[in-house]
Amino acid sequence: METLSYKTQSANPRSVSKAWLLVDAKGQTLGRLASQVATMIRGKNKPHFTPHVDCGDHVVIINASKIRLTGKKWDQKQYVSHTGYPGGQRITTPRKLKNTFPTRIIEHAVRGMLPKNRLGRKLLHSLHVYAGQEHSHPAQQPQEIKLTS
């Protein structure tokens, strides 16, 4: 009789296969979408998840300008940044940000759900957000994923 092996499988960069996934953000709630996308980018939905390795997939998000926020968040939520100069604090709302850079709302939400270290910054390169229906990754043949609301 063969002996069973219960060794923990640890992924490394050579053994990881990264797929391309397509997510439609039309009508999706921002926080719920961002948490599910962060899980896919991190690779926590895979059986061979390893915390210190980039084992997630590339995620392409389309229709970012049609994202949904609940309550009064379009006007009351604030994004705070600083230029680095005295008096350089800049505050904007999602409504203003949607008019200029609609993709940054989703990018900011997903960034906040990733680790705050070198790996988290590297994982952000797997996120590709587009405001409209068209994207520039048809050659990768991303498979469409239906997210649960």
Q: What is the pLDDT of residue 149?
A: 67
Domain count, the chain: 1
Quick: pLDDT tens for 49-83. Answer: 999 999 999 999 999 999 999 999 999 999 999 99
Q: Is the pLDDT of residue 30 over 70?
A: yes
Quick: pLDDT tens for 98-142. Answer: 999 999 999 999 999 999 999 999 999 999 999 999 999 999 999
pTM of the model: 0.91
Q: What is the pLDDT of residue 94?
A: 97
Q: Report if residue 91 sits inside a domain.
A: no
Range of the domain at 132: 20-70+102-145
Nearest to 51, CA basis, from 123, 126, 147: 123
Q: Report if residue 42 sits inside a domain.
A: yes
